[in-house]
Structure 1
Amino acid sequence: MPSLAAMRVFETVGLTGSFTRAAERLNLTQSAVSRQVKILEDQLGEPLLIRHHHRLELTPAGHMLLAALGRAFHEVELALRGIEEESNAHRLRVNAPPTLSKRWLVPRLADLRRTCPDIDISLTTDLTDSLAESSLLDCAIRFGDGEWPAFHSVHLMTERHIAVCAPSLIAGLSRDEAMDLSRFTFLHVLASSDRRYLTWRHWLTAAGLEDVDTSGGLEFDLLDTAIEAAVCGLGITVADRHMVARELADGRLVQLLDVEVDGHESYWLVTRQERKPPKMLVAFCDWLTGQCTGERRPG
């Protein structure tokens, strides 16, 4: 039998259609991935891939093996999940966005321990982890519009955007001077490597400051990092009020102008559509929605 590692590498290459993407997912070098597939082909005496200049194509043998491996790894993962659930019936595996986890969820876990002492949480923040049947996750908190086909979603809270900065940044400025945003550095959050979220534009429109040039400034791939940059006095950022509640309370950040804008998307608790979800999952859902009720505006 070929090595399990080589078959796992081939499955990833087959699913991604690329040695480069497979290497990134497996945390290997591209040459190591290519070499593993070549070893597998040599052992089988049959090509599994047709290597074009910019893409890979599965051969009939490659299609057959990929389908078989998918079924096999799925069965193994289900078995592992069953074993782990039996060995630790109190563990709940949750996946959530990094900023929400650090700034909102983790500070509340002490209350969860008091309310549901039998629940042990495993919290991960890798958003590529899905709730597919083969996943070990029990539930996930997702940011979006609530539309995830084949899953059940419960609304938790909607973003409330405010502009914030360190107190030292506006110390000694009059209100008119503070409203001249051109004197500050803008801190942006990236939606992708070359695209910013539109939170600054939406906030400026609500504030009646549409002529402000926001093309400059610093960019970060996480809201958490942009918030830390604001705390350090590097500039001003638009952040979800829920995520900066502690900094506002202890004075490390102040709100710039009395303008608040509801975000276009929300946080949702996403679970599988099970006829009878586990009691532990129901208890966590009840606790989580209860925590979010206090975050919402009256009415």
Structure 2
Amino acid sequence: MQRSPLLPKAATRVPASRLQAAMLASALAFTLLGAAAAMAQTTAAPPAKAAEQKAYVPDVGQQGKDVIWVPTPQALVDKMLDMAKVTPKDRLMDLGSGDGRTVITAAQRGLTAQGIEYNPDMVELSRENAKRAGVADRATFVAADLFTTDLSQADVITMFLLSTINEKLRPKILDLRPGTRIVSNTFRMGDWEPDASETLTQNCQTYCTALLWIVPAKVQGKWDLDGQTLQLEQRYQMLSGKLGATPITDARLDGTSITFTADGVRYAGVVNGRNMTGNAAGKGQWQAKRM
């Protein structure tokens, strides 16, 4: 019989004890090799796809809780803040803050600003944008429902919502501190006429109108004005009524400032709760108390 060429002559007669020892050594080496490989897999860096999370990028027109997301053009953001005459002393709140551009722009002007946004991904994106802009200490963002948010600490409120949403918010806004400034991108607030509006014709293609409202003081009712009854009827910032038996004209509120004309005399004053004080052209100081 011919010997197999794969088996060396020296291996034709290996004692059983030596053969078992060799097999044991081989098995042990294989086990150690497998353990080392497993350890290497455990300590190795995770795959690139697991280590890198794709950055969130919002899509224009994506659906939100109440409205779709469309960013306000930067030129209009600047115009809205200009119309509100913001100062570093103001606290701004942006309702439906999206990618955070209005809040960040306000913070860059020195304001303390907060964005209210329902989408948590948008909130995180806004926070990152604020960090990159270097204003994260003044520009903050909260994931919240704008209808349940306390608006009372704001001096200025900005928003880019639908008219139906604005109208739903209107009662809450009218209860804010008189003089609070509200600025909307394009969409109105029902029959509450804005105090001012401006439309951009440059550097803006769509949604280019800024609308400003100033929350008026509540003055409807009877007042004792230096012994005469001042009867006021109020519809938002617009007023009508009588001073004594004389109808008043050209009467309105600008926050806490009140102006009206009676019997040819122009009255201008300031409302402070249940009191009003001011000057009447040609007649000097006047004051009134709610009756």
TM-score for both structures, normalised by structure 2: 0.24
Q: Which has the higher helix share?
A: 1
Structure that is richer in strand per residue: 2
Give 1 or 2 for the bigger CA radius of gyration: 2
